[in-house]
Structure 1
């Protein structure tokens, strides 16, 4: 069952092995991980041709926890930026995904704030919280102007979007193809009304980043009630704001992998690892390295 093209596998083997001796079954295992997330099946139900399901699970757990998937995505982003493929007018948003009952049967501390920032440690609540639709997880994302994912974080489903913004921006670091510091500052940020806060606008203004974020009606009313002391309304380029929909379309692409649309993973680390792997596949397609 061929999932990864030959040329693609050769080009990425060095990342998986870190210069060490490659495992004979690395490719089969990675194909099995992709197959599992595409189909949304239990790890125990993996087809035998991919090898023992325990091996596939353990390898994905390791690659999620030691940063392997992150390094592959970072390498692709460096290539895209060097080729001029990156659109630095970025958009931000989140999507709520229902957690399956098989993914929620671990002891956890619920109701924690949405501050899951450590990419290599499991949070106490496993990034699962109770929202209107029941137990759920949010994927928070920054995408470039063409809807390709740049940064992905997970947090409990009941958490707000605005508190995660600075954490997302803090993870935005695109390494240069040659010498120089990583690029961390986009040209502009597009966000919906959930990101309209003084803290976010100040953060962007201090860094010289244009904010394309409309105000909600309650903030508009509050400013008007204050009269001349309310200050001027923030400028919003309404035509440019139309480009924000790329992040919504990105989530639609993400959820074509059924194990991301519904969270079956018990650990936040492995669930985010699957999301990062999906981002890798999106960038490979954009760079022409996969069908």
Structure 2
């Protein structure tokens, strides 16, 4: 096995049937899907420019165009959804979810497109549409992008959304929860209700707690000091403090460790992609490789 072989035969056999069979109006079949997909993985893992891809993977233009197409037409999302369905059928998914975001610096090569800032949150949740600001914003770290992430109890990603770095975490939570749909093998609605949701103080709001309560999901979210003080000042009108299990909350670190795994790919830790669609596509592809390993399809 060479250093360019990044998928085992078992891993490729699982995802090969999900690859598109033709391209464009002419209906010409795609050539050598595996080599191209491994080229995309290699590029994000190494964090190199597309033009610097080794010749082993063929034309860099073909690799980039295929990734752009698969990111925009939903192929990567389809593959991840099918793997999640397989994992759920095998009892691999742990339905205690944790939520958080991570800020990633955008390289200067990713920030040289015209941008219209200040778009609504919903722009960043339509996975197949490029937002006008390309999900690049300005925060303390400069020009940055956030990856908002929902993972299971074993650090494995369930939902991935990208948004500008200055955006808040709480407004994205309803979209993350709505996007959580794992189809079942056979009849029945997709699984979309975790047992509980763990989040830090940024997710402590009445709207989020009400949403979780309406879905029958236990909220394990601490109250920030200002909310505690405001409630106490109101006396009996402030209501009871929300239930909070400190022991369960200790397990929230899985989402931080999940980000550490994500950022082992240099092309995810630093954003080099101009388009939000392709950057998110790389993050979804990283999630795919994590679930392939979880399903036992290792080299």
Same fold, TM-score > 0.5, yes or no: yes
Is the contact between residue 114 and residue 156 of structure 1 (CA under 8 Å) also seen in structure 2? Answer: no
Which of the numbers 87, 108, 118 marks the counterpart of 1:80? Answer: 87
Aligned residue in 1 for 2:65:
58
- Which ranges of structure 1 fall in alignment gaps of 5 or more residues? none
Alpha-carbon distance in structure 2 between the residues aligned to 1:253 and 1:21: 37
Q: Cα deviation per residue 1:1-20 (whole Å; 9 max; x = unaligned)?
A: 31111222223211013599
Aligned residue in 1 for 2:16:
13
Secondary structure, counterpart of 1:219 in structure 2: helix
Does residue 206 in structure 1 map to residue 209 in structure 2? no
Cα deviation, residue 178, structure 1? 1.2
Paired residues, number: 291
Alpha-carbon distance in structure 2 between the residues aligned to 1:7 and 1:143: 24
Q: Cα deviation per residue 1:17-75 (whole Å; 9 max; x = unaligned)?
A: 35998533211111110000000000111111111110000000000001111011001
Cα deviation, residue 260, structure 1? 0.4
Which of the numbers 37, 60, 77 marks the counterpart of 1:30? Answer: 37
- Which ranges of structure 2 fall in alignment gaps of 5 or more residues? none
Taking only aligned residues, the RMSD between alpha carbons, in angstroms, comes to 1.3
Alpha-carbon distance in structure 1 between the residues aligned to 2:19 and 2:134: 26
Cα deviation, residue 207, structure 1? 1.1
Which of the numbers 113, 118, 133 marks the counterpart of 1:111? Answer: 118
Which deviates more, 106-115 or 275-284? 106-115
Does residue 269 in structure 1 map to residue 272 in structure 2? no
Alpha-carbon distance in structure 1 between the residues aligned to 2:8 and 2:85: 21
Alpha-carbon distance in structure 2 between the residues aligned to 1:240 and 1:156: 30
Secondary structure, counterpart of 1:85 in structure 2: coil
Alpha-carbon distance in structure 1 between the residues aligned to 2:190 and 2:274: 33
Alignment TM-score, normalising by the size of structure 2: 0.95
Alpha-carbon distance in structure 1 between the residues aligned to 2:75 and 2:197: 28
4+ long deviations beyond 4 Å: 18-22
Is the contact between residue 101 and residue 149 of structure 2 (CA under 8 Å) also seen in structure 1? Answer: yes
